[in-house]
A = this chain, B = another copy of it.
Amino acid sequence: MKVDEKIWSKRKEEAYMRLKEDLEIGYLDEDIVEVLEEIFKRPQAFTVSSCSGRIVIVDSPYPWERKDSTILFKKHKPISLSEVIDVIKQPAINMMWLVVVGPIIHVSTLSLKEAFRILKIARQAGFKHSGILSATRKGITVELRTGIRLAALLKIKEKLVISYEDLKSIIEISNKALLLGKERLKRLLEALKSVA
């Protein structure tokens, strides 16, 4: 369970190069960049992967099922009614769900002590579903995650199961949920800075 510092440091270097590349390409959501950089500044931590929160429309037997599911739409910003209507015109193979997921960040740490430190900071910033996932020679993996999650059923096969007006409400709520997630990222950034 002891992390190999040499392996871990090499992983951190590589991850940092990927982060810089992603930044240049503009691949990274600006809402999350500062948080990632703040985590990289910590000598015993780096980020492996991240998502600033997203709204997806998925064709799936269940909204949590990756198997047999197809992502029809994905956006990290608030969505509009017309965007959703474009997607729901298509027939669904199984069921069509509108899913909102709050921000998720995977952090690798060199020590368990650092993992628990980050966990504490994250929990205080509203990332209440965070936890340590695994510990190997390559590093301790910590997942930072909020409880923000929403799944609304839009279609069953060809049949729309939501009215036009209710769709508007669902979109409004989804956008609110997404922005709530972005606010948590800001709180996380502030929390990370205040302990630095």
A156 close to B (CB within 8 Å): yes
Contact between B153 and A170, CB atoms less than 8 A apart: yes
Interface residues on A, range: 35 or more
Contact between A150 and B151, CB atoms less than 8 A apart: yes
- What are the residues of chain B within 8 A of A161 when measuring CB–CB? 162-163, 166, 169
Contact between A177 and B1, CB atoms less than 8 A apart: no
- What are the residues of chain B within 8 A of A95 when measuring CB–CB? 173
Contact with B along A141-174 (1 / 0, CB 8 A): 0010001111111001000011100100110010
Q: A119-B133, A152-B152 are in contact. Are A62 and B1 (CB under 8 A)?
A: no
Within 8 A of B (CB), among A87-141: 95, 112-113, 116, 119-120, 129-135
Q: How many monomers of this chain does the complex have? A: 2
CA distance A173 to B116 in the complex (A): 38
| Chain A interface main SS type | mixed
* Chain B proximity of A33: nearest CB distance (Å): 25
CA distance A162 to B163 in the complex (A): 8
Contact between B135 and A116, CB atoms less than 8 A apart: yes
Contact between B131 and A64, CB atoms less than 8 A apart: no
- What are the residues of chain B within 8 A of A147 when measuring CB–CB? 64
* Chain B proximity of A93: nearest CB distance (Å): 15
CA distance A163 to B153 in the complex (A): 12
CA distance A166 to B166 in the complex (A): 13
Contact with B along A30-65 (1 / 0, CB 8 A): 000000000000000000000000000000001110
Contact between B135 and A63, CB atoms less than 8 A apart: no
Q: A150-B151, A161-B163 are in contact. Are A116 and B131 (CB under 8 A)?
A: no
* 21 A/B residue pairs, CB under 8 Å, sorted by A: A1-B116, A62-B148, A62-B150, A62-B176, A63-B149, A64-B147, A64-B149, A112-B135, A116-B134, A119-B133, A119-B134, A129-B129, A131-B132, A131-B143, A132-B132, A149-B149, A151-B152, A152-B152, A153-B166, A156-B169, A161-B166
